[in-house]
Amino acid sequence: MCSLCGTLGAAAHWSEGGGDRTQVGARREVLRERIRRVALLNRVLAPSRMHVDEWEETAYILRGPTGQSVLCGDLAAVFAEVQRLRGAPLDPLDPALVEALSA
Amino acid sequence: MSKERLPLTLITGFLGSGKTTLLAKLLRDPLLGDAVVLVNELGEVPLDHHLLREVDEKTVILDSGCVCCTIRTDLVDELRDLEVRVHRGELPAFRRVVVETTGLADPVPVLATLLQDPMLSAHYMADGVVTCVDAVNAPLQAERQPEWTKQVVVADRIVLTKTDLAEADGAAAEALIRARNPVAEIITGVSGDVPAGRLIGLGVLAEERRAEQVTAWLDAVNHGHGHAHEHDHDHHAGVHAIALRFDEPLDWTMFALWLAMLLQSRGDDVLRVKGLLDTGADGPLVLHGVQHVIHPPTHLAAWPDEDRTSRIVLIVRGIGRAEVEASLRAFDGLAKGAVAA
């Protein structure tokens, strides 16, 4: 899937297809992975004072630093909205972000 | 999926690179006897085929403005129409599709359309991208035409044309190609004379060939195939290959988050991604992407060789290896150290 055009209701984003689905209880594994993804997202977004919550196993709610909230269908949509709210993309190669996450 | 998806071959190349001449020769081969051929315009080179269709490159650019998200509506409409006519019995069934783009076309939207359109993704699969490169004009086009670079980067096979002309410098053209695409097989094709079997039926996305494709890339980059090393790249384009290796299993959830973030922020400069990732499962996860178009990753049942470390190749523009590795290690370390599984 294109990483920039994730929209609610679209086909599953590629990022949600790589977990280990070989074990019994695949749905539970999907949910567990979503919850963990949200936890990781919140660590990455913390320096930008943004927060994500899981929503009904189908979307994420992104909350901006001034309280705005927006529903995002997948990771691509989350980072597109992060860019919109910040006015600039959040770059994983930014040395300041890398240092903040390494601390 | 019960029905086998039909292979779609994309033939691209800059203006005057010999696409139509190549196609005209290929159409004489029985391998393409049951193919539908979609061309952008009927030009001076005559094309003789019973299922030849002319399409305009109609595109719909989605709100994000991302070129990769451009949907080639002409392909969607034409292929849907053909399917309907086959079902009505008005046309014979076809087993293969060949699409020739215009010389200034970005081939990525065709690949994106194949993944994103529900009908096309259910019925068709990219078989391979064949790019024609004019050996005479390659240096100029490489320097001045971003379309040329894009067409070369996404290629699975490259047909080097016009090498018979006195002013052609095949070696220089090959070096320019290798700087941008370390692994695509380069085939010299004077006047389009290339056996169809070397260009058609590549099956680059077939499940059974995914690991082979990735290991070929890794070998090419690690062994310095052509000019793929970072220190040896073409500074005009700034395009080069980065090969990364991780001895410890990678946290897939964090890796996907990192890659999605990278594609959002630097997507125009991440041209290709291939990888075999150790995510802790028995076999590796195979990653394959062209710009923002990431194919759904698949788990293999077993590793293709003795090497069980995660290996990733990125073809990037203006991004350094050290910054990618430091970033990825920091993100992965955060996942392993700070958030309980």
| Subunit contact A93:B266, Cβ cutoff 8 A | yes
State residue B207's pLDDT score: 73
User: What is the span of the domain harbouring residue B149?
Assistant: 6-198
- Cβ of residue B107 closer than 8 Å to a chain A Cβ: no
Among residues of chain A, what percentage have pLDDT more than 70?
A: 80
Q: What percent of chain B has a predicted confidence (pLDDT) above 70?
A: 84
3-class DSSP state of B13 = strand
pLDDT (average), residues B99-103: 86
Contacts of A22 in chain B (CB under 8 A): 281-282, 299
Domain membership flag for residue B1: no
Distance from CA of B76 to the nearest CA of A (A): 17
Q: How far is B281 from chain A (nearest CA, A)?
A: 7
Same domain, B75 and B174: yes
pLDDT of residue B278: 94
Distance separating alpha carbons of residues B209 and B172, to the nearest angstrom: 31
Domain boundary among the residues B198, B217, B247 is at B198
Q: What is the mean pLDDT of residues A78-88?
A: 94
Distance CA B282, CA B302 (A): 6
Looking at the structure, tell me whether residues B214 and B323 fall in a common domain.
yes
| Inter-residue contact B135 to B168 (CB < 8 Å) | yes
Say if residue B93 is in the same domain as residue B130: yes
What CATH number should be reported for the domain holding residue B296? 3.30.1220.10
**Are residues B30 and B70 located together in one domain of the fold?**
yes
- Most B-contacting residue of A93, A97, A99, A102 (CB-CB within 10 A), to test interface: A93
Total count of domains within chain B: 2
Burial of A32 (0-12, 13-18, 19+ CB in 10 A): middle
Bigger pLDDT: B26 or B209?
B26
List the 303-322 stretch of B: residues with Cβ below 8 A of A.
Answer: 319
Range from B41-55, B66-80, B285-299 that averages highest in pLDDT: B285-299
Nearest CA in chain B to A96: B327
pLDDT score of B52: 65
pLDDT higher than threshold 70 for residue B69: no
Residue B2 binned pLDDT confidence (cut-offs 50, 70, 90): very low
Of B148, B169, B198, the residue at which a domain comes to its end is B198
Q: Identify the weakest region by mean pLDDT among B51-55, B130-134, B247-251.
A: B51-55
For residue B299, being part of any structural domain is answered with yes
Greater confidence, B186 or B32?
Answer: B186
Residues B262 and B124 in one domain: no
Q: Do B182 and B212 have their domain in common?
A: no
Residue B39 DSSP symbol: E
Identity of the highest mean pLDDT range in B36-50, B168-182, B251-265: B251-265
* Chain B residue with minimum CA distance to A19: B252
CB contact under 8 A, B256 and A12: no
Residue A18 to residues A33, B233, B252: CA-CA distances in angstroms?
10, 32, 7
Q: Which residues of A touch B (CB under 8 A)?
A: 1-5, 11-22, 33, 36-37, 39-41, 43-44, 75-76, 78-80, 82-83, 89-93, 95, 98, 101-102
Residue from the list B116, B253, B299 with its beta carbon closest to the beta carbon of A1: B116
Local confidence band at B237 (pLDDT 50, 70, 90 cut-offs): low
If asked whether residues B259 and B218 sit together in one domain, one would say yes
Q: Compute the distance between CA of residue B120 and CA of residue A40 in angstroms, rounded to an integer.
A: 34
Q: What is the pLDDT of residue B213?
A: 76
Whole-complex ipTM = 0.87
Provide mean pLDDT across the span B313-335: 93
CA distances from B244 to B147, B311, B323 (A): 27, 6, 12
Of B198, B226, B259, the domain-final residue? B198
Split at pLDDT 50, 70, 90, the class of A8 is very low
Contact yes or no for A4 and B263 at CB 8 A: yes
Lowest-confidence region among A31-40, B4-13, B146-155, B212-221: B212-221
Query: Looking at beta carbons, which residues of chain A come within 8 Å of B298?
Result: 17
Residues B183 and B254 in one domain: no
Categorise residue A16: left if φ over 0, alpha if ψ from -120 to 50, beta otherwise. Answer: alpha
Q: What is the mean pLDDT of the segment spanning B146-154? A: 91
pLDDT above 60 for B267: yes
Contacts of A15 in chain B (CB under 8 A): 256-257, 259-260
Rounded mean pLDDT, B77-96: 87
Strands lying side by side in the sheet with B6-13: B52-54, B35-39, B96-100, B6-13, B124-134, B157-161, B185-188
In a domain, B234, yes or no: yes
Domain membership flag for residue B203: no
CB interface of B with A, residues 243-302, below 8 Å: 252-254, 256-267, 277, 279-282, 285, 289, 292-299
Mean local confidence (pLDDT), A10-19: 68
Residues B192 and B228 in one domain: no
Q: For the domain that residue B144 is a member of, what is the CATH number?
A: 3.40.50.300
User: What does the pLDDT look like over A29-73, one tens digit per residue?
Assistant: 888 889 999 999 999 999 999 999 999 888 999 999 998 999 998
Residue B113 resides in a domain: yes
Residue B198 C-alpha, separation from nearest chain A C-alpha, in angstroms: 28
Q: Do B175 and B117 sit in the same domain of this protein? A: yes
Nearest to B229 by CA among B217, B243, B218, B215: B243
Q: Does residue B148 share a domain with residue B22?
A: yes
pLDDT at A19: 54
**Interface A-B: count of C-beta contacts within 8 A:** 141
Q: Is it the case that residue B340 has pLDDT exceeding 60?
A: no
Q: Hey, which bits of B123-218 come out as E strands?
A: 124-134, 157-161, 185-188
